[in-house]
Amino acid sequence: MKPLLEVRDLRTTFAGNPATRAVDGVNFTLDVGETLAIVGESGCGKTVTALSILGLIDEPGRIEPESVVEFGGVNLLTLEARELRRIRGAEIAMVFQEPATSLNPVLTVETQITETLRAHRTISRTAARARATDLLELVRIPQAAERLGAYPHELSGGMQQRVMIAIALSCEPKVLIADEPTTALDVTVQAQILELLAELQGRLGMAMLLISHDLGVVAGLADRIAVMYGGQIIEQASAAAIFERPMHPYTEALLKAVPRLDRPVTRLSAIAGSVPNAATWPDGCRFHPRCPHAWDRCRTSHPELTPTAAGDVRCWLTDEPHRRVR
Amino acid sequence: MHRFVAARLLQAVAIVFLVGTLTFLLLQLAPGDPLSSTSSSLLVPRTVVEQQRRAFGLDRPILEQYVRYLGNLARGDFGYSYREHRPAWHAIRDRLPNTLLLAAAALVVTFGLGIGLGVAQGLRAGSRVDDVLSLVSLTVYSTPVFWLGIVLLLLFGETLRWLPVSGATDPVVYDQLSLLAQAWDRIRHLTLPAVTLGAIGAAATARFQRAAMLDVIRQDFIRTARAKGLAERTVVLRHALRNALLPVITLFGLAFPLLLGGTVLVETVFAWPGMGKLTVDAIHGRDYFVVTGAAVLAAVMVVLGNLLADILYRVLDPRTREAA
């Protein structure tokens, strides 16, 4: 069966000297009803990947012409602006990281929900209003009808994010892209929002692309996980496989940095160094300067994403004589 | 909102009172009095001048004059115009509508043109059109208003002969025109002074609006609006402009004093029968009560303009409204 959404060789660069290759050849698929999590540190290119899918890259950013985002049999990146607008918000919707700044401060909740409905559906003002109330109830905002007249600053962060989710769900999209949907929220609120997302996804049968820097956040939600580093996917496998047997040293390090309740308490380990600058990726494997297992080949030659039994991995440690990957 | 407006109106009364007092004091500090020119004339006997001084109360102590002036002002009596030999209010009343018309038209030019250009520039920032418009607005902004007036007058009035160059109406045929033709005549007379008076403000507004637009267009909620699949028109007008207008409203409050200052020059260049010209003539002629009356009215207009700006701000930005 053809996947619902297929991203092939996605490359997004930002003009400069030298140009920043924020996303540098990303491939993945998303099936109907599935949740794929893209995980990685800040600056690894995960948000730019998400934005590129809907063509939301602003100048000086540019999606390279060889990139393909196939949805419903068409490449979204070659669509006319008008055609692409029909997909945005209706077929593929997005929830952003900062609800406080992602909602327009001078428009009411009602306006911000109904304008999406009215942009994509032939619907009367009253019907749109009724639907907006239903949506607020769906995302469990108490006194939904009264909150329609509220402005974003009158709501808490959690409520704002619920409104964002209501907006995203208004046209019953096939794909929901959630870019760090809980990062800006308090921990208790985070859990509520994640639960809500999981429940709504099941109820509406949406596929979800969940972007996060936190493996802990995606643990309960993701079917598959793609780990990004240096603008590329470095490991991609089922969530179970990633958590049980990470293949890439970077994934392993990320996992060690997540506090776990089901293991004895040990020191959390940090990954030494920081994400390299996207304008000057290191030669060889992009992770090699921070990798405890790097050997000669890692420093000189760039590994490809290679299929294995458990999933895909981009690492020279799969090769003799340093075979580590099972 | 009502309490806010009431509080601001109370403030306004205080400000108008202060302006009235200051103007009165400044005029007292200036040498001479309304009868100076009369008294220096050898043709007028001294006794007559003294009699006149007594009649107008100019021989009384300053404090007494001041209290009487305030009392009159509180009753809406602006005093007497020595030059026109009629109540100062009548002299002002004849000119006020012309100045209000000119100021309103200039406001339309300032904000209509300024916001339109600023938005267009903000959306095309860095393009050739943007560069050219920035240069033009900077040039206009740096131009003295009277010089701009004279240039426009020469170009459109003298060389091209498209528009009349003086007065508010055609002095010869206006009274015989039909109502519609009278309106058209007024618009033609209004165009050059209004453009002159409004152009500099428009240049400033355009620069402000451009910067505000550039700032807003980078915000997260604009990305949200695009992700919703809204038409670019809706993104710009409903999402970007509504927010980008906020800083410009501050400019709206500041525009009134500049505008009233500008009317003095523009009314002189285009012989526009308004308050600006009246005030200048009154100052030269030591026509005290016309000057104080004009100053008080100008203060009222500035205060009302600022109040209007504050109300607009509250209407457009829900975050500045009081918590319910």
Report how far Cα A142 is from the mean position of its chain's Cα atoms: 28
Of A58, A94, A101, the CB nearest to B227: A94
Class (C level, CATH) for B101-274: mainly alpha
Find out whether A120 and A174 touch, Cβ atoms under 8 Å.
Answer: no
Contacts of A87 in chain B (CB under 8 A): 229
Half-sphere exposure of A20 (CA within 13 A, CB side): 14
CB contact under 8 A, B228 and A116: yes
Residue B178 DSSP SS3: coil
- Cα–Cα distance between B295 and A265 in angstroms, integer? 78
Q: Provide the b/e sequence for A165-180 (b: ≥16 CB within 10 Å).
A: bbbbbbbebbbbbbbb
């949907």: which residue's tokens?
A: A181
Q: What is the reported pLDDT for B322?
A: 62
- Cα–Cα distance between A270 and B77 in angstroms, integer? 81
CB contact under 8 A, A104 and B316: no
A99 in B contact zone (CB under 8 Å) = no
Q: What is the reported pLDDT for B288?
A: 85
Domain boundaries, chain A: 5-91+171-318
CB contact under 8 A, B229 and A116: yes
Residue B59 DSSP SS3: coil
CB contact under 8 A, B318 and A89: no
CB contact under 8 A, B229 and A86: yes
Domain boundaries, chain B: 101-274
A181 in B contact zone (CB under 8 Å) = no
Distance between B217 CA and the closest CA of chain A, angstroms = 10
Distance between B109 CA and the closest CA of chain A, angstroms = 26
Contacts of B221 in chain A (CB under 8 A): 101-105
What residue of A is the nearest CA neighbor of B246? A106
Residue predicted with more confidence, A55 or B58: A55
Lowest mean pLDDT, pick from A225-239, B50-64, B136-150, B205-219: B50-64
Residue type, position B118, single letter: G
CB contact under 8 A, B228 and A98: no
State yes or no: pLDDT of B200 exceeds 50: yes
CB contact under 8 A, A101 and B219: yes
pLDDT category at B324 given cuts 50, 70, 90 is very low
Residue type, position A159, single letter: M
Contacts of B317 in chain A (CB under 8 A): 105-106
Q: What are phi and psi of A93, to 5 degrees?
A: -115, 160
Q: What is the mean pLDDT of residues B157-172?
A: 87
Residuewise pLDDT in 10s, chain A (326 residues):
789 999 999 999 998 888 889 999 999 999 999 999 999 988 889 999 999 999 999 888 999 999 999 998 899 999 999 999 999 999 999 999 999 999 999 999 999 999 999 999 999 999 999 999 999 999 999 999 999 999 999 999 999 999 999 999 999 999 999 999 988 888 888 888 899 999 999 889 999 999 999 888 898 899 999 999 999 999 999 999 999 888 999 998 888 887 776 766 667 777 777 778 878 888 889 998 888 888 888 888 899 998 888 889 999 887 655 555 54
CB contact under 8 A, B231 and A85: yes
Contacts of A58 in chain B (CB under 8 A): 218, 223
Superfamily classification of domain A5-91+171-318? P-loop containing nucleotide triphosphate hydrolases (3.40.50.300)
Q: Which H helix or E strand runs over B46?
A: helix B46-56
**Residue B267 DSSP one-character state:** H
Find out whether A172 and A103 touch, Cβ atoms under 8 Å.
Answer: no
CB contact under 8 A, A88 and B220: no
Beta strands in chain B (DSSP E): 80-81, 86-87
pLDDT category at B41 given cuts 50, 70, 90 is low
Question: Which pair of structure tokens corresponds to residue B166?
Answer: 């003086």
Contacts of B232 in chain A (CB under 8 A): 81
Provide CB contacts within 8 A for A144, sequence distance 6+: A133, A134, A136, A137
**A27 to A24, A48, A104, A241, A304: CA distances (angstroms):** 10, 14, 33, 19, 12
Contacts of B223 in chain A (CB under 8 A): 51, 56, 58, 96, 102
Residue B194 DSSP SS3: helix
Contacts with B, A 66-85, CB within 8 Å: 81, 85
Query: What does the DSSP assignment read for B78-121?
Result: --EETTTTEEHHHHHHHHHHHHHHHHHHHHIIIIIIHHHHHHHH
CB contact under 8 A, A96 and B220: yes
Contacts of B224 in chain A (CB under 8 A): 94, 96, 102-104, 164, 167
Of B221, B231, B232, the CB nearest to A102: B221
Task: Count Cβ atoms within 10 A of the Cβ of residue B323 and give its class: 0-12 exposed, 13-18 middle, 19 or more buried.
Answer: exposed
Provide residues of B within 8 Å CB-CB of chain A. 218-221, 223-232, 234, 238-239, 242-243, 316-319
What percent of chain B has pLDDT above 90?
A: 42
User: Cis (ω within 30 of 0) for the bond into A282?
Assistant: no
Distance between B234 CA and the closest CA of chain A, angstroms = 9
**Residue B227 DSSP one-character state:** H
ipTM: 0.89
What residue of A is the nearest CA neighbor of B314? A106
CB contact under 8 A, B229 and A85: yes
Distance between B112 CA and the closest CA of chain A, angstroms = 22
Find out whether B80 and B88 touch, Cβ atoms under 8 Å.
Answer: yes
CB contact under 8 A, B232 and A81: yes
Contacts of B226 in chain A (CB under 8 A): 56, 88
Lowest mean pLDDT, pick from B209-218, B247-256, B268-277: B247-256
Contacts of A120 in chain B (CB under 8 A): 229
Question: Which pair of structure tokens corresponds to residue B294?
Answer: 């004009």
pTM for this predicted structure:
0.83
CB contact under 8 A, A104 and B221: yes
Contacts of B242 in chain A (CB under 8 A): 104, 106-107
Of A90, A98, A119, the CB nearest to B220: A98
Question: Which pair of structure tokens corresponds to residue B45?
Answer: 């006997």
How many CB pairs (< 8 A) connect A and B?
80
CB contact under 8 A, A107 and B238: yes
- Cα–Cα distance between B199 and B31 in angstroms, integer? 37
pLDDT in tens, B95-148: 999 999 999 999 999 999 999 999 999 999 889 999 999 999 999 999 998 899
CB contact under 8 A, A54 and B231: no
In terms of C-beta distances under 8 Å and separation of at least 24 residues, what long-range contacts does A80-86 make, across chains too? A81/B232, A84/A54, A84/A55, A85/A119, A85/B229, A85/B230, A85/B231, A86/A120, A86/B229
